[in-house]
Amino acid sequence: MPPVPEPPPPLLRLDDPVLDLPTALDRLDEEHFQRGLVPVELEKGVPAWLMISLPVLHRVLKDEHYFARDPRAWRDLWNGTIPDTSPLQALYPPRRNALSVDGGEHQRLRTALTGALQEVSLALLPARIREIADVVIDGFCTRGRADVVSEYASVLPLLVLCRLFGMDQPAGLRVGMAMQRLWDGEADAGHAHHQLQDLLLEHAAYRRAHPGRDITSGMVARGLDDEEIRDQLALIMAAAHDPIAHALANTLADLLQTSRMHMVGSTWLISETLNHGVWRHPPLETLVGRFPTADGLEVGGYRLARGDCLVMGFGAAQRHQLRTAPPEPSNRAYPVFGMGPHGCPQLGRDIALAIAQTGVERLQQRLPDLRLSETDTPRRASTVIAGRRALPVTFTPARPITPAAPHQEEKWNPTRPAPASVSNSRTPPPTRSVFARLARWLRSS
C-alpha cells in the first residue's frame, strides 16, 4: 500500500454547539457527495471521516475485513488523542455485545440474538404495543395537555422492549426508573448504571429458570450465558430506544403540522408519513463508526490510515439520495438501519417501525383532537440524532381506560443534584415522575 498522506483539514467540527449539521451538510458542494467522504473533527483535535453517500456507506459497512466495528481498533481512543475526560471515552468503552466485536465472536452473538428476536410474534405485537400505550396515555389524558416527547415517545419504546424481553410490568418499570436516573445524569448515575446491569442480569437468570416465549429466553435457548444475555439486552435498549422515540415523535409532528392527524384512521397515511419521515429525517443523523484495519486504503479519493475513525452520515446520505434519485413511495430500504454484517436485524427494523406506527395510531385514537400548542417545534441542534426536544400538545381531556390509572401529577424535586456522569442517551428524559407514577399505580391496582 502507498504511504498515507497528511489528512486534509477538517471541514466541520461535529461537537460545535451552534452547528446545524443537516443544513451544513446539505449545502456541501456536489463534489463532496461524489467523493462520499468529508474530513471532520469529532471534538477539538479528534479527526474523523464522515461518510455522506450511499456508495461509500455500502462499500465500508459491507467490508468487515478492512473496516472493523470493534472500537478497540480506533487508534485515537487509546493513544491519548482522546482524553479520559472526553465524552467519547464514556460512549465507546469496549463492550461484549454483537455491535462491538467482529469476526467469529460477532457471528456467534449475532446468530443467537437474531434467532432470539424470532420469539417476538409480529402478529401480536400491535396489540401489545396498544396495551402499553394505553397505560402511558392514561398518565396524562385527563390533563388536556402533555409533552409528547418526554411523556410518551421516550417512555413507550422502553416499556415495549422490556415486555418483549419477557419482563413483567414491575420489572420493566424498575428498568425504566434506573434508565431515567441515567438520562437525568444525576449524582447517582453510576449507581443507576450498575443497578441496570444487575436488573438485566437477574432477569436473564430468572428466564433461565422460567423460560417463556420472549427474547431473553430465546438467547438462553441459543446457548448464551447470563452475562452475555445482559450485554445483548443492554445493546438492544441502547440501539433501539432513542431512534424509535424520535421516529415516533417526528411522525406525529409531521402529521400535526400538516393538519392530517384526523386522517390517521388511514393506516396507509400513517405508514407513508412514517416512511417519508424516516427518509427525510432519519432518527440517527450520524453514528460512530468503522476503523480501517490497514494503512493506505482508498475511499472517496482519500487515503486512510489504519485506526482512523469513519462516521456513518446517514442523514446526509439519505437526503442526498432524495434530492438526486428519490426512492419509490413505499421503499423501506432505509440506510439508517445500517447494512452489511452489523446491519440492524430485519426483526429489529420491524419491531421499531411497529412501535412508532402503533404508538402514533393509538395516541390519535385515544385523543382524537390532539393539536400542537406551539406552531414552531424546533428540532434539536444535535449532530447525532434528528429529533425534537419537546412536542407540547393540547387535547380535550379524556377518561383513563386502564384501572386505577396514574393520572395524578407529581411535583418536581426542587433539590436536583448536579450531573455526575455522561448519559448515553440523546432522547430527552421522560418527565421525572412518569415511571415512578406508573410503578405506584401498579402497586395500588
The site string for ligand HEM over 386-425 (x = CB under 6 A, - otherwise) reads ----------------------------------------
Q: Which of residues 36-95 bind ligand HEM (CB under 6 A)?
A: 61, 69
In this structure, are residues 214 and 165 in contact, taking their beta carbons and an 8 Å threshold?
A: yes
Instruction: Provide the minimum distance between the beta carbon of 341 and ligand HEM in the complex, in angstroms, as a whole number.
Output: 6
Report the candidate in 258, 300, 309 with the shortest Cα–Cα distance to residue 280. Answer: 258
Q: Does 155 bind ligand HEM (CB under 6 A)?
A: no
Taking the least distance from each CB to ligand HEM, the nearer of 50 and 247 is 247
Q: Using CB under 6 A, which residues numbered 197 to 226 contact ligand HEM?
A: none
Q: Does 113 help bind ligand HEM (rule: CB under 6 A)?
A: yes
Q: Which is nearer to ligand HEM, 391 or 405 (CB)?
A: 391
Helix axis angle, 226-257 relative to 267-280, nearest 10°?
A: 110
Residue 144 cell numbers, joined: 388536556
Helix (H) or strand (E) run with residue 41 in it: strand 37-43
Angle at 16 between CA 12 and CA 18, to 5 degrees: 110
Instruction: Choose, by CB under 6 A, the member of 132, 220, 252, 284 that binds ligand HEM.
Output: 284
Please give the residues from 304 up to 343 whose contact with ligand HEM meets the rule CB under 6 A: 336-338, 342-343
Q: Applying CB under 6 A, what is the total number of residues that bind ligand HEM?
A: 27
Contact predicate 51/36, CB 8 Å:
yes
Under DSSP, the state recorded for 55 is: H
What is the residue whose three cell numbers read 434519485?
Answer: 325
| 292 close to 66: Cβ distance less than 8 angstroms | yes
Least distance in Å: CB of 150 to ligand HEM? Answer: 18
Q: Is 167 in the site for ligand HEM (CB under 6 A)?
A: no
Nearest approach, Cβ of residue 207 and ligand HEM (Å): 16
| CA 224 to chain CA mean position, Å | 24
* Residue number, 338 or 428, with CB nearest to ligand HEM: 338
Residues between 346 and 375 that touch ligand HEM (CB under 6 A): 348, 351-352
- Residue 121: Cβ-neighbour burial (10 angstroms; 0-12, 13-18, 19+): exposed
Residues 232-251 that bind ligand HEM (CB under 6 A): 235-236, 239-240, 243-244, 247
When the beta carbons of 205 and 238 are compared against ligand HEM, the nearer one is: 238
Label residues 37-59 b or e (16+ Cβ within 10 Å = b): bbbbbbeeebbbbbbbbbebbbb
Is 166 a binder of ligand HEM (CB under 6 A)? no
Q: Is residue 281 close enough to count as binding ligand HEM by CB under 6 A?
A: no
**For residues 186 and 416, is the Cβ–Cβ distance under 8 A?**
yes
| Closer residue to ligand HEM (CB): 235 or 393 | 235
List strand residue ranges (DSSP E) for 265-314, in order: 287-292, 298-299, 302-303, 310-312
Select from 5-13, 77-85, 138-146, 345-353 the region that touches ligand HEM (CB under 6 A). 345-353
User: Which residues form the interface with ligand HEM (CB under 6 A)?
Assistant: 61, 69, 98-99, 110, 113, 117, 235-236, 239-240, 243-244, 247, 283-284, 287, 336-338, 342-345, 348, 351-352
